[in-house]
């Protein structure tokens, strides 16, 4: 039998109930919690015929390392998102591909925030290298506010090879770099596109950079020379959204 995963926090559990109720084995709720937001979640669980059990704060704290807001879902792992899934997804798209690539983002909080932003922007999938990247930990899922339950996150073995295959499928690869001559506002971000964000500090790796069709920067007016990766991701993705509309 597959090992159960913990998904916690109101947003994340609600998103899971909405997108994949068949994955939820059981929901644990803090004893005595009866507010309106929880009632909505419990109604969704009841409609899907999912068992709900009251639990003490001690039991919930033991299950998760973070702010569970009094709600924890025990769920079966979702569909395996791998490169085959990615190429199948691209083949089935009825619109131009809109992808986000995270090259070496290792903080699960940043990963969760990037997923949340990407889902809000209408990105079709988020791609990252398997090694030296944050994985979909319960913390990343919680910070994503449910985006991790609906947006495919695809770890790949060889990122440079994956980017070249995307190019063969007609996807334009746009990387971000502080020293780029073109700004995000000057670059054409319409059409099939993958936006590549590097790790905070070192930025994109050399092989990743060599795969890019173009490089962009975010113009800075202040004294501080860089943005948090999730904030920078939001700036670039929503400029792309503006252009694509």
DSSP state for residue 103 in the 8-state scheme: E
CA distance 199 to 221: 22
Better-scored residue on pLDDT, 23 or 200 = 23
Question: Which helix (DSSP H) or strand (DSSP E) does residue 238 occupy?
Answer: helix 229-244
Q: Does residue 67 register a pLDDT over 70?
A: yes
* Cβ atoms 53, 28 nearer than 8 A: yes
Asked whether residue 127 is marked as a ligand-binding residue, the answer is no
**pLDDT score recorded for residue 225:** 67
DSSP β-ladder status, 71-75 and 24-30 = antiparallel
> Percentage of residues in the chain with pLDDT exceeding 70?
98
CA nearest to 21, candidates 107, 124, 150: 150
Determine contact, residues 175/212, Cβ cutoff 8 Å. yes
Q: How confident is the model at residue 1 (pLDDT cuts 50, 70, 90)?
A: low
- The token pair at 78 is 């979702």
Residue among 230, 13, 233 nearest 141 (CA): 13
- The pair of structure tokens assigned to 136 is 């979909």
Task: Tell whether 203 is in a known binding site.
Answer: no
Question: The dihedral of CA 242, 133, 85, 20: what is its sign?
Answer: negative
pLDDT per residue as tens digits for the range 157-168: 999 999 999 999
pLDDT for residue 175 is more than 80: yes
Indicate yes or no: pTM above 0.85.
Answer: no
Q: What does the pLDDT look like over 109-134, one tens digit per residue?
A: 999 999 999 999 999 999 999 988 98
Residue 4 has pLDDT above 60, yes or no: yes
DSSP summary character for residue 108: H
Q: Domains in the chain and their CATH numbers?
A: 5-75 (3.30.1330.30), 83-244 (3.40.1280.10)
Interval 86-109 mean pLDDT: 95
198 is in an annotated binding site: yes
Q: DSSP code of 199?
A: B
């Amino acid at each position: 039998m597959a090992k159960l995963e913990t998904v916690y926090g109101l947003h994340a559990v609600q998103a899971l109930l909405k997108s994949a109720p068949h994955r939820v084995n059981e929901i644990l709720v803090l004893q005595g919690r009866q507010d309106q937001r929880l009632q909505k979640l419990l109604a969704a669980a009841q409609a899907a015929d999912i068992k709900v059990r009251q639990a003490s704060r001690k039991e919930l704290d033991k299950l998760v390392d973070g702010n569970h807001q009094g709600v924890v879902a025990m769920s079966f792992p979702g569909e395996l998102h791998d490169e085959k899934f990615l190429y199948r997804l691209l083949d089935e798209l009825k619109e131009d591909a809109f992808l986000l690539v995270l090259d070496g983002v290792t903080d699960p909080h940043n990963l969760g925030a990037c997923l949340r932003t990407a889902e809000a922007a209408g990105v079709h999938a988020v791609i990252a290298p398997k090694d030296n990247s944050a994985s979909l930990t319960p913390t990343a899922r919680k910070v994503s506010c449910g985006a991790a339950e609906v947006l495919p996150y695809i770890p790949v073995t060889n990122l440079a090879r994956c980017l070249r295959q995307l190019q063969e499928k007609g996807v334009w690869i746009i990387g971000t770099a502080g020293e780029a001559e073109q700004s995000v506002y000057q670059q054409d971000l319409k059409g099939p596109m993958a936006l590549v964000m590097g790790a905070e500090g070192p930025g994109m790796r050399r092989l990743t950079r060599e795969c890019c069709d173009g490089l962009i920067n975010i113009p800075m007016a202040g004294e501080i020379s860089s943005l948090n990766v999730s904030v920078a991701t939001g700036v670039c993705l929503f400029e792309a959204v503006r252009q694509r509309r």
